[in-house]
Chain A
């Protein structure tokens, strides 16, 4: 099956700085890569996703990049704010997305 690795496990940044979280995957057939944000005590929520036919996608302060050759994808958050503090999960899926494989999560702390 697929193996998704996520780094770092914890990340602290100063408010206004950028944060980058990286994930690698093992199955070259994976073609859908969502990112979820989970605030303390809450459910995971999709914040951005990318499909394998696209190299980069942006949504305001959030961007995701995908390198299919190297089998890695990254989440970039610019101008971080305290409300960005949460655990972020990457995931990989293939075909119609019946099975999802998640990374182990990154706990992001934005220091005011």
Chain B
């Protein structure tokens, strides 16, 4: 089954404790992206990757890191989480070079205390 998976689905952590949210897709998509969703703000793009070892900033990259060492995985790293990073995070993927469907993961709800 074609899918995008994220782990963990829910996470409560404390300020400053490094964490990683994993994202994996099995559709051989070149393009992967991370978004955060906050009430009243819609979805905002954090980082995206056009292929292995190629990443770029989206609209709200501050406080986040990403890496793309394998085509199927695109982890989101919060080196020192802060309460303003409490949000719902979505990973997405699609074939690069087209403007076709983005497939979203199930989401990760992160709370930073």
**A14 sits at the interface (CB 8 A):** no
Count of chain A residues near B, Cβ 8 A: 25
**B33 sits at the interface (CB 8 A):** yes
User: Which residues between 60 and 87 of chain A lie within 8 Å of chain B, taking CB atoms?
Assistant: none
**A26 sits at the interface (CB 8 A):** no
Instruction: Tell me the number of A-to-B contacts counted with CB atoms below 8 Å.
Output: 56
Count of chain B residues near A, Cβ 8 A: 25
| Chain A interface, DSSP helix/strand/loop, else mixed | strand
Residues from chain A with Cβ under 8 Å of B74 in the complex:
none
User: Of the candidates B33, B45, B56, B107, which one forms a contact with A43 in the assembled complex, judged by CB atoms under 8 Å apart?
Assistant: B107
Interface centre among A96, A97, A103 (most CB of B within 10 A): A97
Nearest first, the 3 closest Cβ-Cβ pairs linking A and B are A32-B99, A43-B104, A97-B99
